[in-house]
Amino acid sequence: MDDTPNSQELFLFLASTAHDMKNSISVLSGTLERLLVDTSPETSVQAGSAYPHMAHMLYQTKRLNDNLMQLLALYKQVGKPAYPFDVQPLDLGQLVEQVAAIERVLLQSRGIRLELDYDPGLIWHFDEDLVVGVLSHAINNAIHYTGDRVRLAIRETDGWLELRIEDNGPGYPPALLKAGEIAARGTAGGVNFLTNSTGLGLYFSSEVAKMHRHRGRHGSLRLENGGQYGGGCFILRLP
């Protein structure tokens, strides 16, 4: 990477621009959420026709917000001292409540039920902001593939915390499963113009997983098909 003063100024400008865009999109998402809460498909014929369009707009703005958040985190050198990596002991109930609150309006607007399976008394050490970002991205992705249900399941298994996002859709296509394998190896996937995917989200999630280390072990990310619903499974494991 070029470390000349001009290149550093360019990187700073790009990061500042991405941050400004993220703030604007966050405002737009908040406005859409309020409109969706105040409007329902049953309110009137006119509202019924506009509601699904607003729901789709909210989904797309959340995707943009996810991507910009990931770009900013990677710009700040995820996993290096420059990034404010903050591991704290946190209870899983707090984590689940935060994720569910972030996704509630979008899930309701798409007619998708979020099912929760976790021990609210379980405490684990992790970076709350980063893990919330990873789970929110995974749920937003599951919304694209699911039929009408998404499951967030968290459990401790053999000294690992396993966080699963499952859906009851047809499962991840081969290209996305391949992108998950590439991300797990620490490489960002190429652009897929058919799915509008850059693999950035999976790469970011994998990097966040590996940042979490304990007694010589580090976290990991895996995509597979199956799970309780038989659809796609996003699996984050933390030591």
Average pLDDT per run of 10 along the chain, which is 239 residues long?
57 67 79 80 58 82 79 64 77 94 88 95 92 91 92 95 97 88 69 49 87 93 95 97
CA distances (Å), origin 39, targets 32, 33, 59, 134, 237: 10, 10, 17, 29, 39
Which among 236, 227, 188 has a CA at the least distance from the CA of 208? 236
Does the domain at 88-238 match CATH 3.40.47.10? Answer given as no
Q: Give me the pLDDT at residue 119, please.
A: 94
- Do 157 and 198 meet the contact criterion of CB atoms below 8 Å apart? no
- Tally of CA atoms within 13 A in the half-sphere of 130 that contains its CB: 28
Alpha carbon distance 10, 89 (integer Å): 37
Alpha carbon distance 21, 217 (integer Å): 36
Q: Give me the pLDDT at residue 44, please.
A: 47
User: For the chain, which residues make up each domain, given as ranges?
Assistant: 5-75, 88-238
Measured over the CA atoms of residue 92, residue 130, residue 147 and residue 232, the dihedral's sign is negative
How much is the pTM?
0.76
Q: Give me the pLDDT at residue 193, please.
A: 37
Q: Give me the pLDDT at residue 55, please.
A: 85
Q: Give me the pLDDT at residue 187, please.
A: 63
H or E segment to which residue 206 belongs: helix 200-211
Q: Give me the pLDDT at residue 142, please.
A: 93
Q: Give me the pLDDT at residue 195, please.
A: 45
Name, in order, each residue with C-beta under 8 angstroms of 31's C-beta and a sequence gap of 6 or more.
none
